[in-house]
Structure 1
Amino acid sequence: MNILILGAGGREHTFAWKIKQSSHCSQLFTAPGNAGTALCGENINVSVTDFDAVKEICLSRKIDMVVVGPEDPLVMGIYDYFKEDESLKNIILIGPSAAAAQLEGSKAFSKHFMQRHNIPTASYAEFTDANFEEGLQYLQQHSQPIVLKADGLAAGKGVVICETVAEAQKVFTSMIKERQFGEASAKVVIEEFLQGIEVSVFVLTDGKDYKIIGHAKDYKRIGVGDTGLNTGGMGCVSPVPFVNDVFMNKVEKTIIAPTIKGIHEEKLDYKGFVFFGLINVNNEPFVIEYNCRMGDPETEVVLPKLKNDFVELLKAVDKGGLQTCTIETDERACCTVMAVSGGYPGNYKKDIKITGLENVKKENDILIFHAGTKQNNGDILTNGGRVLAVSSFGKNIKEAVDKSTEVLNEISFEGMYFRKDIGYEF
């Protein structure tokens, strides 16, 4: 099969690395890709939201399967674009329809969906400019801390936890009146704060059947000890110690099965990944959010642990037979640590030369995935806030973290920063 991956981050390099191993993969392309995906196949410099340009790639390269990495093209309807085009409709596209992608694209939609299907989540209310004053009053009367979420896509940064009424009202005003997150915050969902430990669970579904392919804990804050600003993710560990059989049985029974059943009952076209962002509150799972694609950097630990032929699973999602697949995973701990540009998640420089990659020993239990990188005359340069993810296996989380940290100590670029405490609470 000729396979096209859409995206340019660490998730997409991990996809490329895993897909390249499949006996079903003949040629591999990534658009636009990065310096890491270029090691696995051919990069094509096309935007993931330029559907006409993606169509041209598919026809000229005789693409059989498209694997969509980021959320934007899914929410914008790339699945529907393919299914409505005679020349594209027979290409396997891994991802949900625009209607189904609202599970990620609209916090309000996902909350209504969870209510309809009795899926445990935090209590909430939603507000726009039309009932802005009611929102201020709601915050005045609500216990703190409280969570404010931009309804639409905000690149993982549209969620703010406020500790006081004054802070919450200020953030609420900034979101709605000043459009802090653009049109994404034209509507704001205000949510009860749940105290617990977060975990992400990943599922492949054909819209009726599903398979759990892994779980991970992401570390969003920039600073040691989970302090400072939210980022796209500074690292991940898997497995998470509290995610035992008892907890996972609860997750499957009260959250995953009802979600997939709800997708089927509501006739939402869904052939792809469901990312369940969960929180463990006194050993009871609640949904914080849905995403309609794999997470980043969670992918960098989930796929290395997955022993199955990845393309075989993706074919089963499209053609049927997912229920007969048996998921096999590596029992060892896997950890990824993200190296980021100085200043991230605020302003940062690009085009900085990365050195030391050539010195890292090629070992089977250590993997380097490129996130924000590009090639230039033989050099690897920074090209984003999150630059490299180093994933390592170990007999436990600490050993895996230590291996990743040792590798990052061999790599350098101006302003490079990484958290040295990923997995600290375990």
Structure 2
Amino acid sequence: MKLLVVGGGGREHAIIKKLRENPAVETIYALPGNGGIAADAVCVPEIGAKDIDAIVDFAKAHAVDFAVVAPDDPLALGCVDRLHEVGIPCFGPDAKAARIESSKVFSKNLMHKYHIPTASYQVFDDPAKALSYLRTASFPIVVKADGLALGKGVLIPQNLEEAEAAVKTIMEDRAFGDSGREIVVEEFLTGPEVSVLAFTDGTAIVPMVSSMDHKRAGDGDTGLNTGGMGTVAPNPYYTPEIAQVCMETIFLPTLAAMRAEGCPFKGCLYFGLMLTPDGPKVIEYNCRFGDPETQVVLPLLKTDLLTIMQAVESETLADLTVEWSDGAAACVILASGGYPSHYEKGLPISFPSAFPANVTCYHAGDKLTADGTLVTSGGRVLGITATAATLAQALSDAYAAADTVAFSGKYMRRDIGQRAMRAMEG
């Protein structure tokens, strides 16, 4: 079989490595891929993830048997719709279903209409009306751009002055472009956060192992928000009892709501949850695998990934038993110094001769030079993931391996998983 994976980051590398385990897979094309992915797939760097016409033309020309559209932008732009039009089976939602992530207004209104627990909220398309409302609000409060904003369109003002600045940034300065035409202003929730990715064919749903992300750049959850500095799985706060509540009050109702709205969701649906004193509530949906959550969840998957993805496409997921490994996984992100603000690119990366058998290096932001040297090309450069019987061992092994990789300005958080460890001890 010939597969195509759209995207070029650590998430896509994790998907590609898992797909390669199926003996029927002959070739995987990565569009655009990256320097490290080139060891596991045929990268096509000249075709970007948002170049839908070129992706479809390439898939037809290379007789691709199955495609995986991983990032949010091409999903929102209808990449799956277009591939289906030319007869190529796909994993991922169509554009109508991808609105669950690409429009915060759509997803909040969906939850309100179908009584899915989430934070109370208001929607504004007029900056003056938003500011008038905020003058009566209690803080902290959450301000979200409606559309996709590379994970940076959520601001948490601590006071009115910061709230006014947030509205100006999103709606007037258009820092996130047209994504800021509307905003959602919502209640600030408290409690442990949990990420749950789930396979779904629109009716059946198979939650994956839960995970915990670490968004802030600095130790102790300080500094700027990033795309994620590390993850662990499973999340100790996500007990079987809470999982059952989520299935009954959030997961199944969300699928039923999407079907009722005429846009059934097929693919990977990501539930960003807050375990509040009033029970689990949805912070956000994503219409795809999370990054870097994928890098700790897929290594624990025992069932063949391609088989699952094909069952999602054919809507036969209920007939499949999906199995997971016991134990834990930990991912430590190696970032460029200065990320998520200014950072240098083009810095050579040195690796150990080999990583231990339980450690995988996922490539996120690097590229190959003309002479075959891997150099940095992004803020999040590598994800070092270890699996082990216990989270403590997985963390120890991930950090030990991370210390054997070198590039100028290399930065990593040193406290990934410590909150989870304290929760397990408590």
For residue 383 of structure 1, the aligned residue among 377, 380, 387 is 377
Letter in 1 for 2:117: P
> Matched residue of 1:96: which SS?
coil
What's 2:424 paired with? none
Give the Cα–Cα distance (whole angstroms) in 1 for the partners of residues 298 and 175 of structure 2.
34
Equivalent pair of 1:207/1:268 in contact (CA under 8 Å):
no
Determine the C-alpha separation between the residues in 1 that align with 2:172 and 2:41.
46
What RMSD over aligned residues (CA atoms) do the two structures have, in Å?
1.3
Corresponding residue for residue 261 of structure 2: 266
Unpaired segments ≥5 residues, structure 1: none
Aligned with residue 415 of structure 1, among 406, 409, 415 = 409
2:149 matched to which residue of 1? 154
User: What is the distance in 1 between the residues matched to 2:256 and 2:270?
Assistant: 16
Give the structure 1 partner of residue 66 of structure 2: 65
2:8 aligned with 1:8:
yes
Residues 192 and 237 of structure 2 are in contact (CA less than 8 Å); yes or no, is this contact kept in structure 1? no
Is 2:104 the partner of 1:103?
Answer: no
The 1-side partners of 2:274 and 2:311 are apart by 30
Matches within 5 A, 1:326-337: 326-337=321-332
TM-score normalized with structure 1 length: 0.96
The aligned residue for residue 284 of structure 1 is 279
Q: CA 1:283–1:392 in structure 2 vs 1: closer, same or farther (change >3 Å)?
A: farther
- Give 2:394's aligned residue: 400
How many pairs align? 418
Q: Distance in 1 between matches of 2:199 and 2:306?
A: 12
Question: Mapping of 1:133-172 within 5 angstroms?
Answer: 133-172=128-167
Q: Distance in 2 between matches of 1:125 and 1:27?
A: 48
Name the SS for the 1:252 alignment partner: helix
Q: Secondary structure at the match of 2:208?
A: strand
CA distance in 1, matches of 2:209, 2:319: 17
CA distance in 2, matches of 1:122, 1:55: 39
Q: Distance in 2 between matches of 1:161 and 1:394?
A: 36
Show the 5 A alignment for 1:65-84: 65-83=66-84
269-278 vs 337-346, greater mean Cα deviation: 269-278
Q: Does structure 2 conserve the Cα–Cα contact (< 8 Å) formed by 1:213 and 1:327?
A: no
CA displacement, residues 279-300 of structure 1 (integer Å, 9 cap, x when unaligned):
1113711000000000000000
Counterpart mapping for 1:16-415 below 5 A: 16-45=16-45, 46-83=47-84, 85=85, 88-89=86-87, 91-129=88-126, 132-282=127-277, 284-355=279-350, 357-359=351-353, 361-376=354-369, 377-415=371-409
Deviation of the 1:239 alpha carbon: 0.6
Shift of 1:269: 4.3
CA distance in 2, matches of 1:270, 1:106: 15
- C-alpha distance in 2, partners of 1:257/1:280? 18
SS in 1 for 2:418: coil
Say whether the 8 Å CA contact 2:337–2:411 is kept in structure 1.
yes
Note the C-alpha offset of 1:378: 2.1
CA deviation after TM superposition for structure 1 residue 420, in Å:
0.6
The CA distance in 2 between the partners of 1:104 and 1:236, in whole Å, is 21
The runs of at least 4 aligned residues of structure 1 exceeding 6 Å deviation read: none
The residue type paired with residue 396 of structure 1 is: T
Preserved contact between residue 16 and residue 28 of structure 2 (Cα < 8 Å)? yes
- The answer to whether the Cα contact below 8 Å between 2:117 and 2:280 also exists between their aligned partners in 1 is yes
**Distance in 2 of aligned mates of 1:54 and 1:295:** 22
Verify the 8 A CA contact 1:158 1:181 in the aligned structure 2. Answer: yes
**Percentage of matched positions with identical amino acids:** 39
Conservation of the 8 A alpha-carbon contact between 1:25 and 1:311 = no
Amino acid at match of 1:362: F
Q: Which amino acid aligns with 1:286?
A: K
Q: 1:24 to 1:282 in 2, by over 3 A?
A: farther
Contact 2:197 2:289 in 1 (8 A): yes
CA deviation digits over 1:39-84, x for unaligned, max 9?
112111211111221122212221011101110001011122223x
- Give the corresponding residue for 1:424: 418
Conserved 8 A contact 1:247-1:283: no
> Mind listing any 5+ residue stretches in structure 2 that lack a counterpart?
422-426
The answer as to whether partners of 2:91 and 2:310 remain within 8 angstroms in 1 is no
**8 Å contact from structure 2 (residues 92, 268) kept in 1:** yes
Distance in 2 of aligned mates of 1:321 and 1:24: 20
Give the aligned residue type for 2:360.
Answer: L
Q: Indicate the larger mover: 308-317 or 172-181.
A: 172-181
